[in-house]
A = this chain, B = another copy of it.
Amino acid sequence: MNIGEIASRAGVSRSTVSYALSGKRSVSDATRKRIQDVIDELDYRPNAAARALKEGRTRTIGLVIPPASTRLTHMQLDFVASVVEAAARADLDVLLSPSGGDHDRSFERLLSGGRVDGVILMEIRLEDSRVRRLQNAKLPFVGIGHTARAEEMCWIDVDYAAVINQCVHHLADLGHTRIALVNRSVELVAAGYGPGHRARDGFTAALAQRGIQGIDLECGDDAAAGLECVTRLLREHPEVTAAATINEAALPGIQRGLEEAGLSVPRDFSLTGVVGRTWAEEFRPPLTAADVPAQDIGTQAMDLLIERIANPAAPRRNILLAPPVSLRASTGPARTGSAR
Chain A residues with a Cβ under 8 A of chain B: 43, 45-53, 58, 60, 63, 68-69, 71-72, 77, 81-82, 84-85, 88, 91, 93-99, 104-106, 109, 111-115, 136-137, 223, 252, 255-256, 278, 281-282, 284
Besides the contacts A49-B53, A50-B53, A68-B82, what 7 more A-B pairs have beta carbons closer than 8 Å?
A47-B113, A48-B112, A69-B85, A71-B278, A93-B95, A95-B96, A223-B282
Task: State the number of copies, please.
Answer: 2
A49 and B47 form a contact (CB under 8 A): no
User: Which of A46, A53, A71, A281 has the most chain B CB atoms closer than 10 A to its own CB?
Assistant: A53
**Closest partner residue, chain B, to A2 (CB atom):** B113
A115 and B48 form a contact (CB under 8 A): yes
A93 and B97 form a contact (CB under 8 A): yes
Instruction: Take A114-B47, A114-B48 as given contacts and tell me if A93 and B81 are in contact as well, using a CB distance cutoff of 8 Å.
Output: no
* CB neighbours of A255 from chain B (8 A): 284
Q: Report the minimum CB–CB distance from A339 to chain B (whole Å).
A: 24
Q: Report the minimum CB–CB distance from A206 to chain B (whole Å).
A: 30
Q: What CA separation (Å) do A166 and B297 show in the bound complex? A: 43
* CB neighbours of A82 from chain B (8 A): 68
Instruction: Take A45-B112, A53-B49 as given contacts and tell me if A98 and B85 are in contact as well, using a CB distance cutoff of 8 Å.
Output: yes
13 CB-based A-B contacts, threshold 8 Å: A43-B137, A45-B111, A47-B114, A49-B50, A50-B53, A68-B81, A72-B77, A84-B98, A88-B98, A88-B105, A94-B96, A223-B278, A255-B284
**Closest partner residue, chain B, to A284 (CB atom):** B284
**Set B68, B85, B278: member contacting A85, Cβ < 8 A:** B68
B60 and A84 form a contact (CB under 8 A): no
* CB neighbours of A69 from chain B (8 A): 85
Q: What CA separation (Å) do A278 and B94 show in the bound complex? A: 28
* CB neighbours of A105 from chain B (8 A): 88, 91
B85 and A106 form a contact (CB under 8 A): no
Q: What CA separation (Å) do A95 and B106 show in the bound complex? A: 12
**Closest partner residue, chain B, to A82 (CB atom):** B68
A47 and B53 form a contact (CB under 8 A): yes
A46 and B106 form a contact (CB under 8 A): no
**Set B50, B113, B256: member contacting A114, Cβ < 8 A:** B50
* CB neighbours of A94 from chain B (8 A): 95-96
**Closest partner residue, chain B, to A252 (CB atom):** B282
* CB neighbours of A136 from chain B (8 A): 43
* CB neighbours of A104 from chain B (8 A): 88
Q: Report the minimum CB–CB distance from A135 to chain B (whole Å).
A: 11
